[in-house]
Amino acid sequence: MDIISVISEETGSKPWQVEAAVKLIDEGNTIPFIARYRKEVTGSLNDEQLRLLGTKLEYLRNLEERKQEVISLIDEQGKLTEELKSAILSAEKLVTVEDLYRPYKQKKKTRADAAKKRGLEPLADFILKQDTKEPLEKEAEKYVTGKIAPVSDSREDQIRAAEKEVLDTAAAIAGASDIIAERISDEVRYREYIRSVTRSEGKLISEAKDKETDSVYKNYYEFEESVEKTAGHRILAINRGEKEKILMVSVAAPTERIIGYLKRQIIRSDNPYITPVIEAAIADSYSRLIQPSIEREIRNELTERAEDGAIDVFGKNLKQLLMQPPLSGQTVLGWDPAFRTGCKLAVVDPTGKVLYTTVIYPTAPHNKTEEAKKVLKDLIRKYGVTLISIGNGTASRESEQVVTELLKEIPEAGVHYVITNEAGASVYSASKLAAEEFPEFDVGQRSAASIARRVQDPLSELVKIDPKSIGVGQYQHDMNQKKLSETLSGVVETAVNSVGVDLNTASFSLLSYVSGISPAVAKNIVAYREANGRFRTRSELKKVAKLGQKTFEQCAGFCRINSGDEPLDATAVHPESYETAGILLKKMNCGIREEKKIREFRKNLKDMKALAEETGCGEITLNDILSELEKPARDPREEMPKPVLRSDILEMKDLKPGMKLKGTVRNVIDFGAFIDIGVHEDGLVHISQMSKRYIKHPMEVVSVGDVIDVTVLGVDEKKGRISLTMLDPASDRT
């Protein structure tokens, strides 16, 4: 198999791009490094394209490895033919390789194995020839042994004797039929056809084990949908309902059509003695061997497809969340709400340093509201708090009520508040990492500090949490955890490297996601910084233990040093391009901070190709260097919408159909998006209420963090549900 050609066809990349990317990956280069600093080599393949290419490469290499294993295993049995070897080598999917290997695979003891031990294989061959003109029983008589006496009275000899017994012609024909049924099941062509027709015409069916049981799976108590069309979120919901023993699930195939196909393939003429036996063997083969196997395969395929879709959505949501713009320059009061144990507070200055922590008890059962307000006013005045970040967990609604009352009492302070998604905060606050970062704080204080820092710099804070715990996915606990972790780690890696990290302030967690830097090296960087003070240049990284030349090449461009000895160290220009950047600055007759001059030069540049030749640099790389010099150390998060800051509260009872509100997208799922509109419960915009044009997925319209206009459709206070629409009835456009 030509792996390069296959990947090129499946990804839409040119063969030379694939070949170049594969070579770079094999040389140990990371995806972020290739995407950012080897555009010239790959033709500007981006992170997403490179990760897809890497996944395909791994699958195809595993496929080739499995082919060689199967060829070797069959050869060891002395059953490998040139035709079979050729079929295995030309297989394009792992399932085809396994189908070809099936007849030679060591199976659990089967009915066909037992029949072969009784010497009935020649009878099976005779039946399949279909040319007898006499009753089959006549031929079957040759294989009847009657009762066989064991050699001794030992149990082993008795079993061996029984295994070879064929008591009558009916037993002989039944055994031969078992052999025929297994042969039919092992035939690759038949399985491929049955698999294909079941995929295209089969139905996924789910039923309730007990229709009287009240559960969240009621929509699937009498459910039937085409295998091809069943949406991923439905498959995951059905799987979970089955796992919880609420639902019974099956795949209904076009059985009559399949049996008819098998008959046409196997039965050559209508023989009154043979045809009924073969027909029975076909029916048995399909119902006992093929159908359960194909159903498992298709259920697994559906689950894998659904998981891949859900992981993709989770990854895109996570990326949007990580790329939320930091609210810099704010002194934030982090508020971890609770009832019995009190609300934990942490005041954090604009650099992320925790200035003060305390606990107040404004909520039930304590209800010390006035005492809590006095503490809050003192903290706002003493530390110059400009923003209150309230976690959205238990007692969030009650805490928000206290804050809005407080802000009305001190309007001159100009303080706003924001409801912050605290998913994963409790996981972080109880972690070893949090204990190392805040050894003097308890779990609640750490959580409050994290909630504050999440609005100051979401990326730096969220990388401390297992991506699966951040709470922007669906059914993440039901998925292939290895695949989920790999995908989400890749998303975090992409986000961290697209923003870059300040080498002198970045935490161990943030550094460990930088291209080329392992957790061990990240710890060494922090240790070096603590022992030697600030990094003055990027090249100083080479002094860090276990950080060699290759690692330096991979990570240097993503590490920033502000106010260091080399101005270019504060940009995304890689050290390997410093000489080119210097030539450009000299040609422009300006310094790195003279952005106006650089913009003017670029605006008037007529021949990029000539300049590239003059500087000895590729055009794509040259363009990136100019972009970076034009806007040094620009943060891509600045282009994202900022969180909605609030000073007053809405309650669910205040919502009326037709009310127009501004909200923030909290989570995007297959069938819609959840929107924070300033009440305790997020509202749902169903996919049908997102656009007047047809869309396949909500992500075509919205992303996590988007600030959008919505209209209330309906409110169910009892169930805590809010229905929203993005459609404007007065306009033809969304």
The pTM assigned to this predicted structure is 0.84
Residue 182 falls inside a structural domain: yes
Q: What CATH number corresponds to the domain at position 384?
A: 3.30.420.140
Tokens read off for 326:
């930091």
Residue 44 falls inside a structural domain: yes
Which residues of the chain register pLDDT less than 70? 647, 649, 729-734
Element (H, E) at 11: helix 3-11
Tell me the C-alpha distance between 555 and 416, whole Å: 38
- Domain co-membership, 71 together with 179: no
Residue 420 falls inside a structural domain: yes
Q: Is the peptide bond before 254 cis (omega within 30 degrees of 0)?
A: no
**How many domains does the structure of the chain reveal?**
4
Residue 465 falls inside a structural domain: no
Strands 247-252, 332-336: pairing is: unpaired
Q: What CATH number corresponds to the domain at position 718?
A: 2.40.50.140
- Domain co-membership, 221 together with 123: yes
Asked whether 392 and 455 are in contact (CB, 8 A), the reply is no
Identity of the amino acid at 603: K
- C-alpha 541: how far from chain center: 33
- C-alpha 67: how far from chain center: 28
> % helix / strand / coil in the chain, to the nearest 5?
55, 10, 35
Final residue belonging to a domain, choices 104, 125, 149:
104
- Domain co-membership, 718 together with 678: yes
Residue 256 falls inside a structural domain: yes
**What string of DSSP letters covers 42-76?**
HTS--HHHHHHHHHHHHHHHHHHHHHHHHHHHHHH
Name the residue among 331, 346, 353 with its Cα closest to residue 445: 346
pLDDT of residue 183: 97
Is residue 725 classed as helix, strand or coil in its secondary structure?
Answer: strand
Tell me the C-alpha distance between 9 and 2, whole Å: 11
- Domain co-membership, 194 together with 212: yes
Is residue 356 classed as helix, strand or coil in its secondary structure?
Answer: strand
Strands 672-676, 660-669: pairing is: antiparallel
Final residue belonging to a domain, choices 49, 81, 104:
104
- Domain co-membership, 120 together with 262: yes
pLDDT of residue 732: 46
pLDDT of residue 733: 44
- Domain co-membership, 349 together with 397: yes
Domain assignment of residue 368, given as a range: 327-456
Enumerate residues 6+ apart whose C-beta is below 8 A from 214: none
Element (H, E) at 332: strand 332-336
- C-alpha 573: how far from chain center: 31
- Domain co-membership, 221 together with 158: yes
pLDDT of residue 734: 44
Q: What CATH number corresponds to the domain at position 12?
A: 1.10.10.650
- Domain co-membership, 176 together with 258: yes
pLDDT of residue 383: 98
What are residue 215's DSSP bridge partners? none
Asked whether 31 and 490 are in contact (CB, 8 A), the reply is yes
Asked whether 395 and 337 are in contact (CB, 8 A), the reply is yes
Q: Is the peptide bond before 729 cis (omega within 30 degrees of 0)?
A: no
Asked whether 322 and 222 are in contact (CB, 8 A), the reply is no
Residue 556 falls inside a structural domain: no
**What string of DSSP letters covers 180-236?**
HHHHHHH-HHHHHHHHHHHHHH-EEEEEES-TT---TTGGGTEEEEETTT--HHHHH
- Domain co-membership, 403 together with 452: yes
pLDDT of residue 654: 85
Asked whether 666 and 474 are in contact (CB, 8 A), the reply is no
- Domain co-membership, 71 together with 122: no
Is residue 357 classed as helix, strand or coil in its secondary structure?
Answer: strand
Name the residue among 649, 652, 650, 651 with its Cα closest to residue 715: 652
**∠ CA 388-389-391 to the nearest 5 degrees?**
140
Q: What CATH number corresponds to the domain at position 171?
A: 1.10.3500.10
Tell me the C-alpha distance between 236 and 216, whole Å: 13
Strands 343-348, 332-336: pairing is: antiparallel
Residue 558 falls inside a structural domain: no
- C-alpha 233: how far from chain center: 14
pLDDT of residue 731: 55
The residue with tokens 């080897």 is 38
- Domain co-membership, 186 together with 98: no
Enumerate residues 6+ apart whose C-beta is below 8 A from 504: 529, 534, 535, 561, 562
Residue 695 falls inside a structural domain: yes
- Domain co-membership, 246 together with 231: yes
Tell me the C-alpha distance between 197 and 261, whole Å: 11
Final residue belonging to a domain, choices 396, 431, 456:
456
